[in-house]
Amino acid sequence: MVQDYRVILITGASGGIGRACAIALSHALPSSEAPEPLVLVLSGRKIAQIRQTANQLREGTVVELVVGDATSERDVCKMFDLVKEKYGRLDMLFNNAGVDLLNSVPLEDAEMAIFRQVLDVNIMAAVLCTREAIKIMKNQTPQGGRIVNNGSISAMSPRPDSTAYTVSKHAILGLSKSTSLDGRKYHICCTQLDIGNAQTALGGHASKGCKQADGSMKSEPMMDVENVGRTLAYLATLPLGADVQKLIILASGMPFIGRG
């Protein structure tokens, strides 16, 4: 078992927000030559894609690549067992894995099998990973850690015809609040990171035109996904004496604040 490492686990690290956050963390935190070098555990379903993420990290970053399905209890337990057995601790978990498979589909037209799949990936993956992270964080020395959940401004203000995604992100808000409350006694902090219009494969459609509340279509401002990475890196530098409950980062000028 390797001691004195700072270990951060990212789910959905195959691209998009997960990849941007891994890259930002590798540049913001100590490398392998530091007294407490950074270990990034990158999780995803396809080894080729998470390997592409690893190849873009700062030289000197210690990387573990874990292929698995974050909705599978068996795969999640194996992932966290690896972290515990090899490094003995976990300092941060970023629950980032997510999908939006019913974008712009009215609820009355939605296939319930796909609806359940959205809930499984967006909610249960985070629940499973949070459970296993708490088991490690409450028993390590020093005790505690930080859990960050990838939310969305949909947890406050939904888009039209996005029931599955909106329901899932409201559930993540509840998970974040409960984790923050129940984690207090173990020095575990939890943040809901709500993101609006980051330029990724998942969210990039907003630049081409999104349905507005009045039924019109409108192209919306986008922001570079690197800004999300910088935000997660900021959270990673905070001491556990500071518990950020909610942090919102969104593209300047997008129709969210006020009346559009």
The Cα–Cα gap between 192 and 44 comes to 21
Asked whether the bond before 142 is cis by omega within 30 degrees of 0, the reply is yes
Q: What pLDDT is attached to residue 216?
A: 84
Q: What pLDDT is attached to residue 260?
A: 58
Q: What pLDDT is attached to residue 140?
A: 97
> Could you tell me which of 173, 177, 154 has the C-alpha nearest to residue 165?
154
Q: Copy the structure tokens of residue 130.
A: 């949070």
Q: Copy the structure tokens of residue 34.
A: 């530091």
Q: How confident is the model at residue 209 (pLDDT cuts 50, 70, 90)?
A: confident
* % of the chain with per-residue pLDDT over 90: 79
> Could you tell me which of 17, 7, 16, 128 has the C-alpha nearest to residue 69?
128
The Cα–Cα gap between 174 and 127 comes to 11
pLDDT digits (tens, 9 = 90+) for 229-243: 999 999 999 999 999
- Res. 130: pLDDT tops 90: yes
Q: How confident is the model at residue 205 (pLDDT cuts 50, 70, 90)?
A: low
pTM, to two decimals: 0.92
Q: What pLDDT is attached to residue 51?
A: 98
Q: Is 8 helix (H, G, I), strand (E, B) or coil?
A: strand
Q: What pLDDT is attached to residue 204?
A: 59
Helices 16-28 and 47-55 sit at what angle, rounded to 10 degrees? Answer: 30
- Res. 1: pLDDT tops 50: no
- Res. 2: pLDDT tops 50: no
More confident residue, 208 or 17: 17
- Taken in order of first residue, the domains within the chain and their CATH numbers are 6-250 (3.40.50.720)
φ, ψ dihedrals at 250, nearest 5°? -145, 160
Name residues whose C-beta falls within 8 Å of residue 75's C-beta, 6 or more positions apart in sequence.
Answer: 68, 69
The Cα–Cα gap between 194 and 244 comes to 12
Q: Copy the structure tokens of residue 239.
A: 């001491």
Name residues whose C-beta falls within 8 Å of residue 255's C-beta, 6 or more positions apart in sequence.
Answer: 212, 218, 220
Q: Say how many Å lie between the first and final Cα of the chain, rounded.
A: 53
Q: How confident is the model at residue 47 (pLDDT cuts 50, 70, 90)?
A: very high
pLDDT digits (tens, 9 = 90+) for 150-159: 999 998 888 8
The DSSP 8-state label assigned to residue 198 in this structure reads B
- Res. 194: pLDDT tops 90: yes
Residue that the structure tokens 């039209």 belong to: 160
* % of the chain with per-residue pLDDT over 70: 93
Helix or strand (DSSP H, E) at 246: strand 246-250
